[in-house]
Structures are given as structure tokens and as C-alpha cells.
Amino acid sequence: MPISAVIPSTPSANGGTRLQPVSLFGTLHREIDRLFDDLTRGGFGTLPSPAQTNLMPSIDVTETDKEIEITAELPGLERKDIDISIEDDLLTIRGEKKVETKQEEKDKNYHVSERSYGVFYRVIQLPPGVDPSSIQAVMSKGVLKLTIPKPAKAEPKKIEVKEAA
């Protein structure tokens, strides 16, 4: 069974992300959210900063007959910074990139700061019936790789019709 959809998420004003709803009124809902985000940022029509958009990890989702593989780029993060959960066939990858502050850096005046910090998450719709205990996650050199075995397909069963008593 193919993956239903990857639910997109976008950066929000507080440095985190929000899911974009997929529904009949999704466009209206997104526009209202954008207006509220613009208000909290202090202006209308402003674009998210490059730091906010860079925090969102890039992912690849591939599929074979037997498994789904999700690869996410998480530069600068370690295993302890990542949280992966599954609920109601939704896989959530959550992480936090923290500011690296050292005592000697407190006296520095930054002229350019393009690095991203904060909380992010990505949500991916999985096919129904995935066994959470069978999911494998490994991280190497800032790349997270999830291997998710596909659930077995239900075999059609023939139902015998009996004579009424």
C-alpha cells in the first residue's frame, strides 16, 4: 500500500513549525494562520527569515515492496536532540537545535548570523497497520534514516454460505 501523503509543515513565528491542514477549508485556514503570524512578527507581508526556513529538515521518502525508507538531513544535531514517535499512523520527527554559547562568545558582536536554532517537526502519514516496534532508526553524520517495514496485506477470505436452520 503506497504512502498516502506527506503532510507539509511550515515555520512559525516562534521558531517552531505548524502543520498545514489538508481539508476543504485548508486554504482559508492557512491564510488566517499567516495573517496571525504576520501580526505576531510585527508586520504584514513579511517573509520568514532564511534562518526560519533553514531549520526545516529536508527529507526523502522512498518505498519498495517491503519497506518505506525516510531519510532526513539534520546537520548539527545528535541522536539525543531527536525524538521520533508514531500515533494513529502518523510518524513525527521532532528535534531541537540549540544555540551553542560559550563564555568567550558573550563579548562578541555578530555582524552576520544565518544559522538556525529552535524546535522543528515533520509529520508523515504512514499506511495503516505499521508496527511501531519494527521501525528502525539510525543516525550518522547528521543524517537520520528510518526503515519502516510495510504491514502485511490482508488476504481475501472466502465466507461459506450455510443453510438456514
Planar angle of CA 98, 102, 107, nearest 5 degrees: 120
Per the domain annotation, does 58 fall within a domain? yes
C-alpha cell, 85 = 514517535
pLDDT tens-digit series, residues 21-75: 445 566 676 677 777 666 665 544 444 454 445 678 899 999 999 999 999 999 8
158 φ, ψ (degrees, to nearest 5) = -90, 135
20 pLDDT more than 50? no
Task: Look at residue 157 and tell me if it is in a domain.
Answer: no
d(CA 89, CA 138): 20
**Inside any domain, residue 92:** yes
Inside any domain, residue 66 = yes
79-125 per-position pLDDT tens digit: 999 999 999 889 999 998 887 766 666 677 777 877 778 888 899 99
Note down the domain range covering 131: 6-105+112-149
Q: What integer pLDDT is reported at residue 145 of this predicted model?
A: 97
pLDDT band at 143, cuts 50/70/90? Answer: very high
Any domain includes 1: no
For position 23, which CATH number holds? 2.60.40.790
Q: What is the per-residue pLDDT for 26?
A: 60
Instruction: Give the count of domains, the chain.
Output: 1
Does 145 reside within a domain? yes
Residue 154 lies in a domain: no
The larger pLDDT score, comparing residue 146 to residue 102, is at: 146
3-state secondary structure of 93: strand
119 in Cβ contact with 96 (< 8 Å): yes
What CA–CA distances, in Å, run from 40 to 12, 71, 105, 118, 156? 10, 33, 30, 17, 54
Higher pLDDT, 10 or 119: 119
Distance CA 93, CA 121 (A): 5
pLDDT at 139 over 80: yes
Confirm if 6 and 61 have CB atoms less than 8 A apart. Answer: yes
What integer pLDDT is reported at residue 66 of this predicted model?
Answer: 92
74 within a domain of the structure (yes/no): yes
